[in-house]
């Protein structure tokens, strides 16, 4: 197997592959627009129950009526996995994937950044960040809330 030499005119092969795009539906369009606007919007049923990922119907009361709530972005690690293999571009490895329990009471899957995977623990407090991982496109990520960091 041959590899391109550094500096070789490899053109497009050196360009970073873009992250997969979400499948936009009538139900989740608000969520993805929120991410681009730097807001974490969670679907809220007319009965008050929050749900994520967004869907057409409340699993509890079966209502089709909903609006959205802007979440604080604060939460804690409910569960996590550190993916090492197989490496799938453009994701960075080890890929730290977390299930975050939001302060508002629903859960969301995302990436956790700015932390050594060995330091991650269930219950770790985290905060949503909107990171421009690609030019002109923001992605929802989480970072640990470190005590003292907000007191600068
Ligand atoms: Zn409901």
Give pTM, 2 decimals: 0.84
| Contact assessment for residue 44 and residue 67, using Cβ atoms and an 8 Å cutoff | yes
Task: Report whether 28 contacts 22 (CB < 8 A).
Answer: yes
- 89-129 residue pLDDT tens: 888 899 999 999 999 999 999 999 999 999 999 999 999 99
Compute the distance from residue 58 Cα to the ligand 1 centre, in Å. 5
The more confidently predicted of residues 81 and 3 is 81
Q: Is the peptide bond before 94 cis (omega within 30 degrees of 0)?
A: yes
What is the C-alpha to C-alpha distance for residues 101 and 109, in angstroms, rounded to an integer?
Answer: 9
pLDDT for 142:
98
Q: Can you tell me the distance from the alpha carbon of 126 to that of 115, in angstroms, rounded to the nearest whole number?
A: 11
Give me the chain's average pLDDT, please.
Answer: 89
Residue 65 CA to ligand 1 center (angstroms) comes to 8
Place 150 in a pLDDT band, splitting at 50, 70 and 90: low
Range of the domain at 48: 22-70
Structural domain contains residue 10: no
Number of domain units in the chain = 2
Q: Is 31 helix (H, G, I), strand (E, B) or coil?
A: helix
Phi (first) and psi of residue 123, to 5 degrees: 95, -10
| Residue 76 and residue 66 share a domain | no
Give the Å distance between the CA of 120 and the centre of ligand 1: 34
Q: How far is the CA of 66 from the centre of ligand 1 (A)?
A: 8
């Amino acid at each position: 197997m041959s590899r391109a030499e550094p500096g070789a005119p490899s053109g497009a092969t050196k360009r970073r592959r873009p992250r997969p795009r979400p499948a936009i539906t009538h139900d989740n369009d608000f969520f993805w627009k929120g991410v681009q606007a730097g807001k974490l919007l969670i679907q809220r049923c007319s009965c008050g129950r929050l749900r994520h990922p967004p869907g057409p119907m409340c699993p509890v009361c079966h209502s089709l009526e909903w609006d959205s709530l802007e979440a604080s972005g604060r939460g804690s690690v409910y569960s996590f996995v550190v993916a090492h293999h197989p490496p799938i571009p453009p994701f960075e490895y080890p890929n730290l994937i977390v299930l975050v329990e939001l302060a508002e009471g629903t859960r969301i899957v995302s990436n956790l950044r700015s932390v050594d995977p060995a330091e991650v623990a269930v219950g770790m407090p985290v905060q949503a960040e909107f990171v421009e991982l690609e030019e002109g496109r923001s992605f929802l990520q989480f970072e640990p809330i470190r005590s003292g960091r907000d007191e600068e």
